[in-house]
């Protein structure tokens, strides 16, 4: 029986448990008709047919597990898309809902159902509508290969068919062909200047930390992350605007990477305290990173995942927010530490931070 006809018959019976979710990936870049995506870690329940005639049993077997054929007699909400892994003998896989981990999923009664975790990955996807069949899939795979080849992107030849809409939906159906690829998240950062926005307490400190980093072109103190345009220092410091004190870091990604800047950022302040750094208290002193693109967001999230458990006992509360606008602070805030190095705040607060960072991370400094 055609697998999509079987989808139709099966989901018509169980459509009350079927829900669509598009939260499994973030789009990094669009190239012609192809989306480059980063997929988060996912858990699959799957069935691999033993031969061509057995393909019609794939949905029945996996659906049996999620509809209660397990050691807990528990229904598991069916998610969208359904994945058919063409590269693995047409394995059919359902993505388990976010609330589950490997260790708390019910155990299948059917020993042919496999439960496994797939790590984060970068994939290319091409979308098409209508009903899918082997001819259409081959044509779309060829088109996807052509676009990747033209853009010098290497794929892993592990093509999958993703079916988002239950088969009884005739119009506006969504299908995709996806494949794992080799893709450098920093590949579009080959210009001489990129920008990132860091808030790590008082911007006088943040500016002093970053202004002599190799590859940093300039550091500008200002305000971002709030609600009103062109706020004043008095408005921000009184908590009237929801802005944070941040620095605009302009840097050459060919000389210093965003990953390196993140290392300096997290090393130079406490990202586990809410709305304060030491005696500087208030929401405008919060730890915050404002990212400009999905690529930056993914790099930041990956770095936080990397250090949060190992160094911070899973206590990082740094706010991640999409960058919208930056408002330059008043002139007397710019280059404050260099121009006021003998002031008590600079001597007692900024100087010890700068000295520690430059000693411990000296490889990054001029």
* CA-to-CA separations, 68 to 76, 105, 230, in angstroms, rounded: 7, 12, 57
What is the C-alpha to C-alpha distance for residues 306 and 167, in angstroms, rounded to an integer? 40
Assess whether 247 carries a catalytic annotation.
no
User: Tokens 């998240």 — which residue?
Assistant: 185
Q: Using the Cα atoms of residue 27, residue 142, residue 187 and residue 311 in order, give the sign of their dihedral.
A: positive
Structure tokens at 21: 């979710």
**Long-range contacts from 358-363, C-beta under 8 angstroms, 24+ separation:** 358/212, 360/267, 361/263, 361/264, 361/267
Structure tokens at 242: 């929801």
Which entry of 202, 205, 247, 346 is annotated as an active-site residue?
A: 202
Active-site residue set: 202
């Amino acid at each position: 029986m055609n697998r999509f006809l079987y989808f139709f018959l099966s989901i018509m019976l169980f459509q009350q448990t079927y829900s669509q979710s598009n939260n499994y990936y973030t789009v990094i870049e669009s190239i012609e008709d192809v989306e480059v995506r980063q997929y988060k870690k996912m858990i699959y329940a799957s069935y691999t047919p033993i031969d061509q005639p057995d393909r019609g049993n794939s949905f029945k077997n996996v659906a049996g597990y999620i509809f209660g054929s397990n050691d807990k007699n528990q229904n598991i909400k069916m998610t969208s898309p359904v994945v058919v892994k063409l590269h693995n003998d047409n394995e059919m896989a359902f993505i388990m809902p976010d609330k589950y981990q490997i260790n708390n999923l019910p155990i299948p009664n059917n020993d042919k159902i496999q439960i496994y975790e797939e790590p984060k990955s970068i994939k290319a996807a091409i979308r098409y509508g209508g009903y899918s069949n082997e001819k259409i899939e081959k044509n779309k795979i060829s088109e996807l290969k052509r676009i990747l080849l033209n853009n010098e992107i290497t794929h892993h030849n592990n093509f999958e068919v993703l079916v988002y809409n239950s088969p009884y939906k005739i119009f506006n159906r969504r299908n995709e062909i996806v494949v794992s690829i080799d893709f450098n998240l920093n590949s579009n950062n080959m210009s001489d200047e990129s920008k990132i926005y860091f808030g790590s307490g008082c911007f006088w400190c943040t500016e002093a930390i970053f202004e002599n980093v190799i590859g940093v072109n300039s550091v500008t103190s200002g305000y971002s992350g709030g609600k009103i345009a062109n706020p004043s220092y008095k408005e921000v410091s009184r908590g009237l605007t929801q802005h944070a004190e941040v620095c605009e870091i302009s840097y050459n990604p060919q000389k210093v990477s965003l990953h390196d800047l993140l290392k300096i950022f997290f090393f130079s302040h406490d990202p586990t305290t809410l709305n304060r750094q030491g005696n500087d208290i208030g929401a405008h002193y919060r730890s915050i990173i404002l990212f400009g693109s999905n690529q930056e967001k993914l790099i930041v999230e990956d770095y936080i995942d990397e250090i949060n458990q190992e160094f911070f006992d899973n206590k990082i509360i740094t706010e991640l927010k999409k960058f919208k606008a930056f408002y330059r602070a008043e002139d007397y805030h710019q280059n404050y530490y260099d121009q006021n190095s003998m002031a008590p705040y600079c001597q007692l607060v900024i100087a010890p931070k700068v000295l520690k960072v430059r000693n411990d991370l000296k490889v990054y400094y001029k």
